Amino acid sequence: MPEYRPFRILATLLMAGSIPGCQQLEPEDSHVREAWNQSYADQTSGKADSVACSGITVADQGDFQGQVILTFDDGPNPNTTPEILRLLREHRNSVDEAAPIEATFFVLGKRLHGEQAESMITDMVADGHLVGNHTNEHFDLRRLSTTRARAEVDNVTNRLAELELPGNYLRFPFGSAGCSKVALVQSMDYRVAGWHVDSADWCFASSKGGVGHCDRRTFKYVDETYRDDMVGLILSQLKLHNGGILLMHDVHENTKDTLPDILRALDDAGYSYTNLNDRIALPKLNGQLERQWVGSLCGPEQSCYFEHGGEASYCMPVNVDTQAGFCSLACEGYCPDLAGMAPTFCVALDDGQSGACIPQSVEKNTFCEDLPGTQTTLAERYVGDSNAPAKSSEVCLP
C-alpha cells in the first residue's frame, strides 16, 4: 500500500493558500501559515503530552473493528448539506441494511441563523445525527485570548441551546489547539474530537487540474497513486486503524457528488458505521473529561498539559525510580485554585531559590493519601518578589 501520512496535510493546507469551504485564506496570511505549521509540529514533536494537547489526534487509536465514523465540518450549507443528508438517510450498509448512517456535523455559528439553517439542523437531529461545535467564525483558537476563544465557543453553545441541542463535541478549526485551549474547552464540558482519516476533499474540490483531481501544486502530501482518486485515498488511511473517524466537509459540491462512491466503496470493503458517542468504539473520547490541575497524578505515561498565567505546568516527581508524581506550577507568593480540586500553596523546594504550587493536605485529596509518596507536612510560603505575607500551611510533600 502506498505510504500516506495524514498529519502532513496540516502543513500543506497552508501551502495551498486557501481552504475551500472553511475560510478563503490568502497564502501571504502569516497567521494562517503559523497555525497550520504549529499544528503539524505538535503532531510530529514526539512529546508525551501531544495527544492530550492536540485538536487532531484522537486518544482512541483502534483497532476499530471495521467501523467508520463520518464527520462533516464547516456547514450547514443550503446548497450541499440537504443532499448529503438525503444520501445518508437513503443509504443502507451491506453489513447491516436496517441501520441508517448516523454522522456528526461540526457546524459554524455564523451559519446557524435563519429558517433554512434551522430546517437543516432539524433534519440532522431527526435522522439521528450529532451536531458538534466548530466555533463561530472558524478562527484559530490557539492564537486568540482566552476571553475571545471562550466567546467563539460560547456563541455556538448558546445557539445550539436555543435549538434545544446539547454541545458535547468540539472540533478545533485547523486542528490548532494547544494545552491551554484544550483545557478551556474541556472546562466548558466539551470533548475534543479530532480525526484518524483526512479525505483531503478540499483539494479534490479545487479547480486547479480539474475538480476531482488533487493537484500536487495545491497539496503535495498525497501519494501520486491517489491524485485522481479521493475514494482510494480514504480507503488507504482507513486500513491503518481498521476504521476510524473520517474528516470531510459538507460545504463542497465535489464532496456531495463523490459521497455515493465513498459509501459504496466502504460497503464493498466491509466497513460499517457508528458515531462519535459510541462508548465501545471510542471509550477514551467518551470517558470522564479529565481536568488536570495542581495535584493531578502524572509520570512517564501521563504528562501535565495545562497552563495558568503564562506558566506551563510540569510533573513534579515524587518517586525518583518511577518518575511518578503530581502536576505543579512555578509560583511566587500565591498559587491559583480550581473549583473541585484541593487548594494549593506556594512552597520553596530548592533551598529558597524558587517556588512550586503544592496541594494542601485536605479532605479532597484524603489528606495526601491520594498522592502516593507524599505526606502531610507543615511548610512555609515561598514569597519571592511578591508582596504576599508570610504564612504556613499543611501540604502534601514527599
Of the three residues 274, 306, 325, the one that is the final residue of a domain is: 274
Q: Domain for residue 344, yes or no? A: yes
Q: Is 77 contained in some domain?
A: yes
195 neighbors 173 (Cβ within 8 angstroms): no
Tell me: do 19 and 89 sit in the same domain: yes
Q: Are residues 234 and 126 in the same domain?
A: yes
Do 302 and 263 belong to one domain?
no
Domain range for 366 is 297-397
- Whether 170 and 193 have beta carbons less than 8 Å apart is answered as yes
Buried b (16+ CB within 10 A) or exposed e, 78-117: eebbbebbeebeebebeeeeeebbbbbbbbbbebbeeeeb
Please report which helix (H) or strand (E) contains residue 307, including its range: strand 307-308
Rounded to an integer, what distance in angstroms lies between the CA atom of residue 322 and that of residue 216? 48
Say if residue 247 is in the same domain as residue 304: no
Query: Which of 274, 289, 321 finishes a domain?
Result: 274
In the numeric block, the cell 511548610 is attached to: 379
Residue 287 located in a structural domain: no
Distance of CA 4 to the CA centre of its chain: 21
> Quick one: CA torsion of 111, 116, 122, 123, rounded to 10 degrees?
-110
Residue 18 CA, chain-centre distance (Å), reads 22
In DSSP notation, 22-40 reads TB---TT-HHHHHHHHHHH
Round to whole Å and give the CA distance between 14 and 385.
Answer: 44
Nearest-angstrom CA–CA distance, 158 and 346: 38
**Cell numbers found for residue 292:** 488536570
- In sequence order, the 6+-apart residues with CB closer than 8 A to the CB of 300 are 48, 322, 323, 324
232 pLDDT more than 60: yes
Of the candidates 269, 228, 244, the residue with the CA atom closest to the CA atom of residue 71: 244
Do 285 and 194 form a contact (C-beta atoms < 8 A)?
no
Which cell numbers in the block locate residue 125?
A: 437531529
Most confident stretch, 1-15, 18-32, 50-64, 92-106: 50-64
Confidence of residue 98 (pLDDT cuts 50, 70, 90): low
| Per-residue pLDDT, 16 | 36
Same domain, 244 and 333: no
pLDDT attached to residue 18: 35
* Same domain for 346 and 226: no
SS3 assignment, position 106: strand
- Domain shared by 139 and 204, yes or no: yes
Residues 252 and 330 in one domain: no
Give the H or E element holding residue 312.
Answer: strand 311-312
Q: Can you tell me which residue has the cell 473493528? A: 65
Asked if residue 246 and residue 213 are part of one domain, the reply reads: yes
pLDDT-above-90 percentage for the chain: 57
Q: Given a cut of 50, is residue 17 above it in pLDDT?
A: no
In a domain, 166, yes or no: yes
Last residue of a domain, one of 274, 308, 339: 274
Residue 185's CATH number? 3.20.20.370
End-to-end Cα spacing for the chain: 52
For residues 189-227, one letter each, b for 16 or more C-beta atoms within 10 angstroms of the residue's C-beta and e for the rest, the string is ebbbbbbbbbbbbbbbbbeebeeebbbeebbebbeeebb
Is 355 domain-assigned? Answer: yes
- Shared-domain flag, residues 221 and 330: no
pLDDT per position as a tens digit, 315-349 = 998 887 777 899 999 999 999 998 778 999 999 98
pLDDT tens for 239-273 read 999 999 999 999 999 999 999 999 999 999 999 99
Q: Are residues 65 and 106 in the same domain?
A: yes
The reply to whether 378 falls in a domain is yes
Number of domains in the chain: 2
Q: pLDDT tens-digit profile of 262-306?
A: 999 999 999 999 999 998 899 889 885 567 889 999 887 667 877
Give the integer Cα–Cα distance in Å for 227 and 288: 41
Q: Indicate if 316 and 269 belong to the same structural domain.
A: no
Q: Is residue 256 part of a domain?
A: yes
Q: Regarding predicted confidence, which is higher, 95 or 354?
A: 354
- Structural domain contains residue 285: no
CA 377 to each of CA 257, 351, 370: distance values in angstroms, whole numbers, following the listed order: 67, 16, 15
- Pinpoint the alpha helices (H) of 309-358: none
